[in-house]
Amino acid sequence: MTKTMQTETATTTDWHDSAFDVMRGVAAYTASPLMRGLTQVIARHPQADVAIAFNHKQVGCKMWARQSLFETVGGKFKRIVVLGGWYGVLAAMFFDDSRFEIQAIDSYDINPAVGAVAETLNGVWQGRFRALTADMYTLPYHTLEADLVINTSCEHIADLPAWLSLLPRGTRVLLQSNDYFSEPTHVNCVPSLEAFAEQARLGTVEFSGSLPMKKYTRFMLIGTV
């Protein structure tokens, strides 16, 4: 190993250890189950990109979703199904909010590497949270018994109308997309809220709004298919 490599390895290790130590302190200070879950993710899944999934922009978009949902339809749900649920941050934020009464959240993602991380993050809500690996285009939606279907990853799926057509008529949905065209993994960005609404063509729209961020604007629709 060269000297540069040794220094880089040491720096990375130090950063990981420091992040863990800081998060353990934050978890102790706040007594927050979510912060404890995040601490466990850092300890058990050092390869997970939690710094991206839990950065202030991602958290801001999810707080916006949570608040808008509460104001629009309230906080009581039997089963929420989250598609493209990634590391389960949105689910954890719902469970962490005492205004919500949610019996269960199922988080589906096509990437088999993210489920274990989501389970760790939501470990404290064991029995109420499941992370499942599946392509959202292949799920038997009529059997899922969801009273809310959330997809905040609409910019990541090629054909939003085709996916929405799989949901039973009348299903309540919360959808987010954005105009962050320059991000390579975004295969289906939209230029405006109007374009997003046109793409989704919901049966009823209970909420529609935009959240400007530094590099892009996020769009959200709540309604029924």
Ligand X SMILES: C[S@@+](CC[C@H](N)C(=O)[O-])C[C@H]1O[C@@H](n2cnc3c(N)ncnc32)[C@H](O)[C@@H]1O
Binding site for ligand X (CB under 6 A): 58, 83-84, 86, 108-111, 114, 135-137, 152-153, 156-157
Query: Distance between CA 33 and CA 88 in Å, rounded?
Result: 14
Q: Enter the tokens of residue 134.
A: 């599946």
Helix (H, G, I), strand (E, B) or coil at 137: helix
Decide whether 106 or 109 has the Cβ nearer to ligand X.
109
Decide whether 28 or 132 has the Cβ nearer to ligand X.
132
Q: Enter the tokens of residue 89.
A: 């941050």
Name the residue number minimizing CB distance to ligand X: 84
Crossing angle of helices 33-44 and 3-30, rounded to 10° = 160
Q: How far is the CB of 224 from ligand X (least distance, A)?
A: 20
Q: How far is the CB of 1 from ligand X (least distance, A)?
A: 33
Q: How far is the CB of 136 from ligand X (least distance, A)?
A: 4
Any idea which residue has 């988080």 for tokens?
Answer: 107
Decide whether 64 or 207 has the Cβ nearer to ligand X.
64
Closest CA to 134 of 60, 84, 174: 84
Q: How far is the CB of 14 from ligand X (least distance, A)?
A: 27
Query: Distance between CA 158 and CA 187 in Å, rounded?
Result: 6
Decide whether 152 or 208 has the Cβ nearer to ligand X.
152
